[in-house]
Amino acid sequence: MARISNVEILELGEPGEKSSPWSSTILVLKLTTEDGIIGYGEAPTTLMTRPVFEEMKEVERVFKGASVNNIKANVREYYKHSFYLPVSMESTAALSAFEIASWDILGKELGAPVYDLLGGKVRERARAYANGWYDNCVTPEQFLRKAREIERMGFDAVKFDPFGGNYDQISSAGLKEARKIVGKLKEETNLDLLIEFHGRFSANSAIRAAEVLEDMEPFFMEEPVHPDQIEGLARLRGRTTARIALGERVLNKNLFLPYFVRDLVDIIQPDVTNVGGILEAREASSLAESFGIEVAYHNAFGPIQTAATLHLDLSVPNFVIQESFDKFWPGWKKSLVRSGYSIDKGHFTLSGKPGLGIDIDEKILEKYRTDQMESFNPNEPSWVVKGTYSPSSRNDRSHKKK
């Protein structure tokens, strides 16, 4: 197998943020081997675009000149050198891009799609749920109007955050409004409802919110407590019958294990672009399978990430549903990948071409190159869907400007 001879790291974005802030930039990696085969990877950027960009230069020092087929050995070599790798999002994100691009090259070298290299398909398509669809939604009526549009697109499941501007604590008014929003969609659509908490609440507030919403049988509740409050999550687990999902901020397979052995989670959500890449995400799902736990990979950034994730969706036995922002990206991001996967009537399929199976539009790579951090709004956290962190629903008035 050939060695990696050239590394190109590109940040893409456009002036004037036209999507939620975490999605307004992406980092694309282009690896080229000495025999001219190109592989693409992607790294996430949530309020850390430039730090991840710089960390990718550190990963380059390990991967450049290495044999591209030695994916596991190359990852282990970086693990050896990167002292904070298991708990540094910048490090795991940067590594993920190189690992994904290596699989893309390996598949092209062998003439096989990545899913065949992972053991083959166990399904032909992957059920998707829509996310990013509810920008500027605050009232139940606004959520319903857009949810009906999603149904017309063919989706049968949506994820959304109904908690407005409540953070850490939630007011009684905030609880009532969240119940109205979820109830409206429950009563007037046929959608499965996935409730996004965004890891925003203390355990006490998360318990209150779960108790208010659980009778509406959400598909799952995602990250109900702050991600560092594991004991709080255990308290919540004993107080609700709702299924709990988490994992986008769990940075390798070993760090999932405490959640499994303590029965704290029903569905895990590794992110292929921050957990260390395709193989680490695959191994996390295998650990979950041993505990009878399902997997719904997190997927919020760009189309290269989507393509990489779909190879897992089609080959992982305990896959349950796939997150999709694809229909709600700005135009340049939709155009970056010209072909390779498609979504129709709420289900993804892959092309079956070698590697990741995607064709990249090189003109997009050139036209939208930038070196900026993503946009920052002091009145709305970068992790929310744009226009939903409503000042009128905030229980903490200190968030308002003086």
Q: 316-344: per-residue pLDDT in tens? A: 999 999 999 999 999 999 999 999 999 99
Residue 383 inside a domain? The answer is: no
* Domain co-membership, 16 together with 129: no
- Of the residues 113, 135, 161, the one at which a domain ends: 113
Banded pLDDT at 397 (limits 50, 70, 90): very low
Of 198, 226, 311, 347, which residue is the catalytic one?
198
* Domain co-membership, 78 together with 139: no
Q: What is the DSSP string of 143-198?
A: HHHHHHHHHHHT--EEEE---TT-BBB--HHHHHHHHHHHHHHHHH---EEEEE-T
For the segment 17-25, the average pLDDT, to the nearest whole number, is 74
Q: What mean pLDDT, rounded, does the chain reach?
A: 94
* Domain co-membership, 147 together with 244: yes
* Domain co-membership, 187 together with 283: yes
Banded pLDDT at 395 (limits 50, 70, 90): very low
- Of the residues 113, 143, 161, the one at which a domain ends: 113
pLDDT digits (tens, 9 = 90+) for 147-158: 999 999 999 999
pLDDT digits (tens, 9 = 90+) for 344-373: 999 999 999 999 999 999 999 999 999 988
* Domain co-membership, 42 together with 177: no
pLDDT digits (tens, 9 = 90+) for 243-281: 999 999 999 999 999 999 999 999 999 999 999 999 999
Residue 301 has pLDDT above 60, yes or no: yes
Residue 392 has pLDDT above 70, yes or no: no
pLDDT digits (tens, 9 = 90+) for 89-137: 999 999 999 999 999 999 999 999 999 999 999 999 999 999 999 999 9
For the segment 9-15, the average pLDDT, to the nearest whole number, is 93
CB 287 within 8 A of CB 268: no
Residue 17 has pLDDT above 90, yes or no: no
- Rounded CA-CA distance 44/19 in Å is 15
Which CATH number belongs to the domain containing residue 93 in this structure? 3.30.390.10
* Domain co-membership, 44 together with 61: yes
Residue 148 inside a domain? The answer is: yes
Domain count, the chain: 2
- Predicted local distance difference test score (pLDDT) of residue 399: 39
* Domain co-membership, 38 together with 133: no
Residue 374 inside a domain? The answer is: no
Residue 364 inside a domain? The answer is: no
Banded pLDDT at 374 (limits 50, 70, 90): confident
Of 298, 311, 347, 399, which residue is the catalytic one?
298
Which CATH number belongs to the domain containing residue 268 in this structure? 3.20.20.120
* Domain co-membership, 153 together with 286: yes
* Domain co-membership, 68 together with 167: no
Decide the pairing of beta strands 192-196 and 220-222: parallel
For the segment 61-82, the average pLDDT, to the nearest whole number, is 97
* Domain co-membership, 196 together with 337: yes
226: annotated active-site residue? no
- Rounded CA-CA distance 96/363 in Å is 24
Q: Which stretch, 307-311, 327-331, 372-376, has highest mean pLDDT? A: 307-311
Percent of the chain's residues with pLDDT above 90: 89
311: annotated active-site residue? no
Residue 207 has pLDDT above 90, yes or no: yes
Q: How far is CA 266 from CA 93, 157, 248, 288, 394, in A?
A: 25, 18, 14, 9, 30
- Predicted local distance difference test score (pLDDT) of residue 221: 98
Residue 347 inside a domain? The answer is: yes
Residue 127 inside a domain? The answer is: yes
- Of the residues 113, 131, 149, the one at which a domain ends: 113
Q: Which domain holds residue 333?
A: 116-356+389-393
* Domain co-membership, 133 together with 57: no
For the segment 32-61, the average pLDDT, to the nearest whole number, is 95
- Predicted local distance difference test score (pLDDT) of residue 278: 98
Residue 12 has pLDDT above 90, yes or no: yes
Sole residue written with tokens 């999709």: 324
Q: Provide the 8-state DSSP code for 370.
A: -
Banded pLDDT at 69 (limits 50, 70, 90): very high
- Predicted local distance difference test score (pLDDT) of residue 19: 67
* Domain co-membership, 141 together with 57: no
| Residue 385 burial (10 A CB sphere; 0-12, 13-18, 19+) | buried
Residue 1 has pLDDT above 80, yes or no: no
